[in-house]
């Protein structure tokens, strides 16, 4: 019987018997700021943190239910915070991402919120992420530009960059970026808008994607049509993946063809607006985030014993050839979530692994021999 190695991480932890959402507040620059925190049932120190920002006119309470990211947090053991914006001159909740002419310091507040989560919940400061809907997406881009040192990756759903953010963006390093946007979005137009009232100039979605592709120095690209599993939502999804950037960073864009100003996969459908159900945005966002820490593509080699086999090419596009010093009785490939995506029993020291239906991303390849076990990261691009 082949020996299998189980890696255990022994952590001193505070245990939460049940998952819970709590309301918290602290004062920042003389303003009481509110946020909701969701803690998964299997809480331990050093968890990842996702900040999920609501859209214009919305709030943290609505974003909890609209995005349903708490379910994803519970299934994948990360903490998610839903901050509340302040109200603008019209009494409407918003994020000050340089689009409304307000002066509230939301960059400073979100930075302070991250610091408080690191102290109070012992979250991993190298695995802090931000995403947002619409105005929250604008704020995520603004944060990526101005406080890159605190975010491992960002995602925007129906948001983009306006001319002020775009013209003054100054990221301190490459940062992974994900954009999900509908082509029929009439609130934040996919093609941008030269004049949109108080929102100034809205930069076209693909122009924003190109900015981050160039900033990250991505060298490879792939276009995939996502399976149209929900034929009644009157929309489809095309995924554009740009990989090979500095420190393994990437940019991904999910174009929702015929999609409106909505959060794909939401359990709440907005009347008169197409919501796509071929993907679940919250799951897509976490799968993207979970590949990275503040230094780029996760150094999974830190948790993998030193490998004694070669694999070329790695990253792979179509296939890779594995050469092992021992006869491979079985190999298993896991995705970043630890799910088995492929296994085979070749009984050979040299094998060819075809990409097949493996999506772009990070995987773990394990090789088993009679009394041998080794593993190594495999990158598909």
360 and 262 inside one domain: no
74 and 25 inside one domain: yes
Q: For residue 317, what is the domain's CATH number?
A: 2.60.40.3080
pLDDT score recorded for residue 300: 42
Total structural domains within the chain: 2
75 and 182 inside one domain: yes
Tell me, yes or no, whether 282 lies in a domain. Answer: yes
Long-range contacts of 369-374 (CB under 8 A, 24+ apart): 369/2, 369/324, 369/326, 369/327, 369/328, 369/329, 370/2, 370/326, 370/327, 370/329, 371/2, 371/3, 372/326, 373/2, 373/3, 373/4, 373/5, 374/305, 374/307, 374/308, 374/309, 374/324
Q: Does residue 7 carry a pLDDT above 70? A: no
Tell me, yes or no, whether 4 lies in a domain. Answer: no
Instruction: Examine residue 313 and say whether the peptide bond preceding it is cis (omega within 30 degrees of 0).
Output: yes
Q: For residue 133, what is the domain's CATH number?
A: 3.40.50.1820
277 and 340 inside one domain: no
For 83-97, 115-129, 153-167, 329-343, which range has the lowest pLDDT when averaged over its residues? 329-343
Q: Does residue 305 carry a pLDDT above 90? A: no
DSSP H stretches of helix in 122-167: 135-146, 163-167
Tell me how crowded residue 265 is: count the other CB atoms within 10 A of its CB: 20
Tell me, yes or no, whether 79 lies in a domain. Answer: yes
34 and 57 inside one domain: yes
Q: Rounded to an integer, what distance in angstroms lies between the CA atom of residue 215 and that of residue 245? A: 9
Q: Rounded to an integer, what distance in angstroms lies between the CA atom of residue 264 and that of residue 137? A: 14
342 and 354 inside one domain: yes
74 and 126 inside one domain: yes
Tell me, yes or no, whether 3 lies in a domain. Answer: no
pLDDT digits (tens, 9 = 90+) for 315-362: 888 999 999 988 998 899 987 666 788 988 998 999 999 999 999 888
60 and 150 inside one domain: yes
Q: Rounded to an integer, what distance in angstroms lies between the CA atom of residue 268 and that of residue 277? A: 11
pLDDT score recorded for residue 364: 84
Tell me how crowded residue 179 is: count the other CB atoms within 10 A of its CB: 25
Tell me, yes or no, whether 15 lies in a domain. Answer: no
Q: Rounded to an integer, what distance in angstroms lies between the CA atom of residue 355 and that of residue 344? A: 14
pLDDT score recorded for residue 339: 72
pTM here?
0.76
Closest of 47, 51, 58 to residue 35, by C-alpha: 51
DSSP H stretches of helix in 28-160: 60-67, 69-76, 106-121, 135-146
Tell me, yes or no, whether 8 lies in a domain. Answer: no
Q: Does residue 183 carry a pLDDT above 90? A: yes
DSSP 3-state of 1: coil
Q: Rounded to an integer, what distance in angstroms lies between the CA atom of residue 245 and that of residue 237? A: 24
Q: Does residue 240 carry a pLDDT above 80? A: yes
Long-range contacts of 375-378 (CB under 8 A, 24+ apart): 375/304, 375/305, 375/307, 376/301, 376/304, 376/307, 376/309, 376/311, 377/300, 377/301, 377/304, 377/314, 378/311, 378/314, 378/316, 378/320, 378/333, 378/353
Question: Contact, 203 vs 163, CB < 8 A?
Answer: yes
Residue 132 φ then ψ, to 5°: -170, 160
Closest of 237, 130, 126 to residue 178, by C-alpha: 130
DSSP H stretches of helix in the chain: 60-67, 69-76, 106-121, 135-146, 163-167, 205-215, 281-289
Q: Last residue of some domain: 267, 297, 327? A: 297
- How far out from the chain centre does Cα 349 lie? 37
**Residue 306 pLDDT level (bands cut at 50, 70, 90):** very low
Q: Last residue of some domain: 297, 317, 333? A: 297
pLDDT score recorded for residue 259: 98
Residues 6+ apart with CB under 8 A from 86: 31, 33, 93, 94, 96, 104, 106
339 and 211 inside one domain: no
pLDDT digits (tens, 9 = 90+) for 114-147: 999 999 999 999 999 999 999 999 999 999 999 9
- For range 215-224, the mean pLDDT: 93
Q: Last residue of some domain: 280, 297, 314? A: 297
pLDDT score recorded for residue 362: 82
238 and 313 inside one domain: no
206 and 284 inside one domain: yes
Domain that holds residue 343: 300-380
pLDDT: is 306 or 260 the higher one? 260
pLDDT score recorded for residue 201: 87
Tell me, yes or no, whether 156 lies in a domain. Answer: yes
Tell me, yes or no, whether 228 lies in a domain. Answer: yes
Instruction: Examine residue 315 and say whether the peptide bond preceding it is cis (omega within 30 degrees of 0).
Output: yes
Residue with tokens 């881009």: 141
276 and 361 inside one domain: no
């Amino acid at each position: 019987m082949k020996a299998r190695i189980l890696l255990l991480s022994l952590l001193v932890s505070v245990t939460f018997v049940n998952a819970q959402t709590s309301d918290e507040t602290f004062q920042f620059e003389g303003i009481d700021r509110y946020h909701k925190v969701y803690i998964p049932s299997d809480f331990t120190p050093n968890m990842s943190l996702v900040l999920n920002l609501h859209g214009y006119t919305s709030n943290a309470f609505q974003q909890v239910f609209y995005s349903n990211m708490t379910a994803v947090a519970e299934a994948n053991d990360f903490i998610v915070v839903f901050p509340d914006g302040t109200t603008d001159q019209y009494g409407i909740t918003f994020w000050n991402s340089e689009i409304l002419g307000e002066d509230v310091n939301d960059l400073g507040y979100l930075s302070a919120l991250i610091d408080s989560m690191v102290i109070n919940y012992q979250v991993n400061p190298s695995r802090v992420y931000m995403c947002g809907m619409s105005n929250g997406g604008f704020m995520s881009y603004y944060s990526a530009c101005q406080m890159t040192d605190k975010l491992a990756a960002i995602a925007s759903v129906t948001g983009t960059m306006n001319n002020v953010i775009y013209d003054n963006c100054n990221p301190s390093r490459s940062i992974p970026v994900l954009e999900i946007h509908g082509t029929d979005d009439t609130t934040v137009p996919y093609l941008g808008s030269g004049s949109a009232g108080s929102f100034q100039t809205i930069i076209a979605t693909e122009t924003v994607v190109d900015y981050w592709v160039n900033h990250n120095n991505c060298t490879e690209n792939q276009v995939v049509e996502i399976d149209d599993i929900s034929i009644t939502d009157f929309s489809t999804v095309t995924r554009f993946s740009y990989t090979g950037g500095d420190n393994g960073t990437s940019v991904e864009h999910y174009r929702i063809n015929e999609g409106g100003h909505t959060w794909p996969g939401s359990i709440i459908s907005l009347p008169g607006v197409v919501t796509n159900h071929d993907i679940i945005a919250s799951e897509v966002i976490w799968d993207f985030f979970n590949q990275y820490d503040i230094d780029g593509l996760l150094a999974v080699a830190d948790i993998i014993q030193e490998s004694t086999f070669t694999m070329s090419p790695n990253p792979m596009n179509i296939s890779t050839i594995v050469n092992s010093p021992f006869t491979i009785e079985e190999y298993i490939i896991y995705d970043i979530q630890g799910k088995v995506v492929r296994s085979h029993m070749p009984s050979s020291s040299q094998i060819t692994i075809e990409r097949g239906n493996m999506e772009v991303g990070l995987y773990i390849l394990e090789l088993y021999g009679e009394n041998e076990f080794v593993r190594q990261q495999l990158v598909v691009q």
